[in-house]
Structure 1
Amino acid sequence: MIEQAHKELSTLRDYMRFAVSRFNAGGLFFGHGTDNAWDEAAYLLLHTLHLPLDRLEPFMDAHLIEEERLAVVKIIERRITERLPAAYLTNEAWLGEYRFYVDPRVIIPRSHIAELLREQLSPWIGDPWAVGKVLDLCTGSGCLAILAAIAFPESTVDAVDISADALAVARRNVDDYDLAARVRLVESDAFAAIPSEKYDVIISNPPYVNAASMASLPEEYRREPQLALASGEDGLDFVRRLLAEAATHLKPDGLLVVEIGHNRDELERAFPDTSFIWLDTSAGDRYVFLLRRSDLPRS
């Protein structure tokens, strides 16, 4: 059918229809930037044809030359047969207006913390220019570290990850944004390699997928590094460690901001005496919490 499509289809509209049909028939899973076959097809085809990602309609009836048809058919086929998320096929992911290089060495960026950084963590931080030092723990591709450096113009940022492979990807992104002088990459198991550092703000989008969810992940999610996803039976293994150790690494008025996926209920049951502040995001107020240093649970 792929070969037949290359020979018989002509316009971008033809290939959009074909891609959507094949994606639906193939039972693909969406969740890395899109949530349906149409948006996924539009992104992949516009990217492959080097067209603006936000302008599909003007090009729908344009006829593709043979080289373009071959390229479009190839990326449709790879998405179906390899079950790779679109971001790994294009080597890019977007958080708002910011583009980041990604490949299977890192989890695909999709953190709600990104939109909070666009607002400079207002109102919890009154003066973004006064933030001197930030830690992005479990930095992966480095995207949140970069957004933190942009949000807090006078800050330096430590971008920490246990994975040397992830840090190689982060290095590329830091260099792309010309932030090497302000963003330091550190290979570390949590705080182990930065025992004496103290921060105004610690942000983290850590592993938080529980064992039951890991066992039932769609194929596309299994293409991501398991190290960046799995966090024990209830999904809170890393968060427990973070809550136990963060106070030592925060300045007296420091803030901890952590994304925990769908684990709000489990977290509040595990720490009933901790007054978590749940931050509003476009997805709701169940996914990211904030704690002041003084409100962290006591060991």
Structure 2
Amino acid sequence: MTIAQALDWAKSRLFEGESPAIDARVLLCHVLNCSTTTLLTYPEKPLTDAQIEQFTALIEQRKIGKPVSYLTGKQDFWTLTLNVNEHTLIPRPETELLVERTLQLHELNPLKQPAILDLGTGTGAIALALASELPQSQVLAVDFIQEAVELAKYNAQQLALKNVSVLQSSWFSNIPQQSFDFIVTNPPYVESQSPWLSEGDVRFEPDTALTSGEDGLDDIRLIIDHAVTWLNPRGWLLIEHGHLQSEAIQGLLVDHGYDSVTTESDYSGLPRMCYAQKRVA
């Protein structure tokens, strides 16, 4: 079987998926440890029996819906390539908005050594992206799942980012007493009975990283309630949320002592992030 034949076969197996050609290329590059350019340049190159066996197994797992990122163990986020596993949510492009907006808010009022807290860090994506862009910052990333903590630490080590600390904590419960200039979070926000949980790649992701009560706001309520006491004066809280939740979250932020409450849309034009500043008396 040549590269071209392998790709044609894989696309035929994955034809019911959203992106059969892309998935086939990514998985074959993973097996061959090569770039997409290599696939295009050497379509007649034959695969070994071991490569065929590995590629076939990956395609069959993808066919039943297992996310490509879990199959390769990698996911790009911001300018970084992160290790991922089934204990954490797969970082998504819309979450980069949290990084982008945090950097912009910092530019408006630059701090010599900003203190940043990433709640529910998972792979460490948000914390590591901010640490890479703000090398003078001190970033604390927390997650209540030990496997996620270990993964985020590993990613920080692989990226040689020294200004990030990772610890196990259920939201604020185990954080050392200190205050922060920015608290950023992509918490669980899906309704516990949402039909979306039984669709596509999300079926394979951990429920603990996705669901948060009947209306999806249980964790966000807790974060908004507690974050105000952990923020420095005029510090910022930034939250990713579902596209139907912005109005409710804006109300929570106003009620709990925040100013400059703002909603921002994702790249598809859907309201997906709220941010606000701690109110100073």
TM-score (norm 1): 0.82
Deviation at 1:55, TM superposition (A): 6.1
Aligned to 1:258: 239
Is the counterpart of residue 228 in structure 1 residue 209 in structure 2?
Answer: yes
Partner residue of 1:197 out of 173, 178, 184? 178
C-alpha distance in structure 2 between counterparts of 1:285 and 1:191, whole Å: 29
Is the counterpart of residue 152 in structure 1 residue 137 in structure 2?
Answer: no
After superposition, residues 1-299 of structure 1 pair within 5 angstroms as 10-25=1-16, 28=17, 35-53=18-36, 56-81=39-64, 83-110=65-92, 112-117=94-99, 121-123=103-105, 125-126=107-108, 130-179=112-161, 181-194=162-175, 196-213=177-194, 216-218=197-199, 220-265=201-246, 267=248, 271=252, 276-284=261-269, 286-294=271-279
Name stretches of at least 5 consecutive residues in structure 2 with no aligned partner.
none
C-alpha distance in structure 2 between counterparts of 1:115 and 1:54, whole Å: 30
C-alpha distance in structure 2 between counterparts of 1:136 and 1:272, whole Å: 18
- What value does the CA root-mean-square deviation take over the aligned residues? 2.7
C-alpha distance in structure 2 between counterparts of 1:218 and 1:112, whole Å: 19
C-alpha distance in structure 2 between counterparts of 1:292 and 1:53, whole Å: 44
TM-score (norm 2): 0.87
Task: Report if aligned partners of 1:141, 1:166 keep a CA contact under 8 Å in 2.
Answer: yes
Name stretches of at least 5 consecutive residues in structure 1 with no aligned partner.
1-9, 29-34
C-alpha distance in structure 1 between counterparts of 2:261 and 2:245, whole Å: 10
Q: Determine which structure has the larger strand proportion and give its number.
A: 2
The one-letter amino acid paired with 1:201 is F
Task: Using the aligned pairs only, state the percent identity.
Answer: 29
Task: Report if aligned partners of 1:131, 1:200 keep a CA contact under 8 Å in 2.
Answer: no
Deviation at 1:246, TM superposition (A): 1.0
Which whole-Å deviations, capped at 9, do the CAs of 1:147-183 have from their partners, x for residues lacking one?
Answer: 111122211111011111210111111111122x421
C-alpha distance in structure 2 between counterparts of 1:220 and 1:234, whole Å: 22
Counterparts in 2 of 1:54 and 1:117: CA distance versus 1, 3 Å = farther
Matched length: 277
